């Protein structure tokens, strides 16, 4: 997906670890964790995690607070650097890449909308296209389409400033901002956790539809909410104490026998 010759090598690698997870057949474009460890002081936040995610997969990272799922997300776009091991995208380690260029192709949505307060809704959404040097008409057309799809009609909202929007509206702008340049990977870190339950459900649906439409986009979605994970993802990776303790399809999740999964399901 990043036009990297290394991906050929990747495809030939035998014995991929995730055959059990129903990984997409065309696994040439992957996020590949190779024994990724992240330490803070004496603590391992991630402990020798190995995991592969194929193109277009929709994966949820599930776990309790402090399980390492957010850190696992942030090593993908280089916001966190592994202490040992490496995170490989398309056969090239993130450590060896020019991060700004890589990140322009990876959407990122956090729990906080984190919109630029000094920029209008449109200018917020236009951020990555402008970094990529899109012609302004294309940016405008795409932004309007996306804002409409997320039920923030551009005519009403494009010129407004973030501070005049509700939390749910701001988060929709953040989603539009992450999706506009058709990122090859979309990273979400509990994007709906701060919203009230009704708006959360509404946004989950809008989000699912908007991302399903982009089948080539690989989705990694961090959450501690089982129902949200099953609603949005087709594969669930469960983290506990910095390790992957379960990696299963969404259908098989409910009957998975791992004790932590049982506790999540029964909660």
Partner 1 sequence: MNELLRLTGQHVLIVAIAVSIAILAGVPLGTFAHRRKRAGGIALRVTDVVQTIPSLAMFGFLIPLPFIGGIGARPAIVALVLYSLLPIVRSTLVGLERVDPFVREAAVAMGMTDRQLLWSVELPLATPAIVAGIRIAAVTAIGVATIAAAVGGGGLGTLIFRGVAMVDTRLILSGALPAALLAIGADLVLTRVERAFARKRGEA
196 near partner 1, judged by CB under 8 A? no
The 10 Å Cβ neighbour count of residue 241 is 16
For partner 1, which is the closer residue by CB, 44 or 114? 114
For partner 1, which is the closer residue by CB, 79 or 245? 79
C-alpha dist (Å) from residue 9 to 33, 87, 90, 99, 128: 16, 15, 9, 22, 30
Site for partner 1 in 111-150 (CB under 8 A): 112, 114-119, 127-128, 131
For partner 1, which is the closer residue by CB, 18 or 170? 170
Which alpha helices (H) appear in 45-166, and where do they start and end? 69-74, 99-103, 121-125, 127-132, 136-149, 154-157
Q: Tell me which DSSP letter residue 57 carries.
A: -
Smallest distance from partner 1 to CB 210, Å: 18
Whether 164 contacts 120, CB under 8 Å: no
Element (DSSP H or E) covering residue 186: strand 185-189
The 10 Å Cβ neighbour count of residue 148 is 14
Measured CA to CA, the distance from residue 47 to residue 39 in angstroms comes to 8
For partner 1, which is the closer residue by CB, 128 or 238? 128
218 near partner 1, judged by CB under 8 A? no
Q: Which of 12, 65, 163, 267 binds partner 1 (CB under 8 A)?
A: 163
For partner 1, which is the closer residue by CB, 177 or 235? 177
Q: Which of 83, 164, 166, 205 binds partner 1 (CB under 8 A)?
A: 164
Site for partner 1 in 69-98 (CB under 8 A): 77, 79
182 near partner 1, judged by CB under 8 A? no
For partner 1, which is the closer residue by CB, 82 or 113? 113
For 206-219, b/e burial (b = at least 16 CB within 10 A) is bbeebbeebeebbb
Measured CA to CA, the distance from residue 240 to residue 46 in angstroms comes to 9
36 near partner 1, judged by CB under 8 A? no
Q: Which residues bind partner 1 (CB under 8 A)?
A: 77, 79, 99-106, 108, 110, 112, 114-119, 127-128, 131, 161-164, 174, 177
């Amino acid at each position: 997906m990043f036009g990297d010759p290394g991906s050929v090598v990747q495809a030939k690698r035998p014995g991929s670890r995730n055959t059990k997870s129903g990984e997409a057949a065309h696994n040439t474009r992957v996020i590949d964790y190779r024994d990724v460890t992240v330490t803070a002081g004496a603590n391992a936040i991630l402990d020798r995690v190995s995991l592969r995610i194929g193109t277009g997969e929709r994966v949820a990272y599930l776990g309790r607070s402090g399980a390492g799922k957010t850190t696992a997300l942030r090593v993908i776009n280089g916001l966190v650097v592994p202490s040992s091991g490496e995170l490989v995208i398309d056969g090239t380690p993130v450590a060896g890449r020019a991060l700004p260029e890589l990140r322009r192709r990876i959407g990122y949505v956090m729990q906080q909308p984190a919109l630029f307060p000094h920029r209008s809704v449109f200018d917020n959404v236009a951020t990555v296209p402008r970094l990529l040097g899109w012609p302004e008409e294309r940016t405008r057309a795409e932004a309007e389409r996306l804002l409409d799809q997320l039920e923030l009609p551009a005519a009403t909202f494009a010129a407004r400033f973030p501070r005049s929007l509700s939390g749910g509206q701001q988060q929709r702008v953040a989603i539009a901002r992450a999706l506009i340049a058709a990122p090859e990977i979309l990273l979400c870190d509990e994007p709906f956790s701060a919203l009230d339950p009704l708006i959360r459900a509404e946004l989950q649906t809008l989000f699912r539809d908007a991302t399903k439409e982009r089948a080539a986009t690989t989705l990694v979605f961090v959450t501690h909410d089982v129902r949200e994970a099953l609603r949005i993802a087709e594969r669930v990776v469960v983290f506990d104490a910095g390790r992957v303790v379960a990696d299963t399809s969404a259908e098989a999740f409910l009957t998975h026998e791992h004790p932590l999964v049982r506790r999540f399901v029964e909660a």
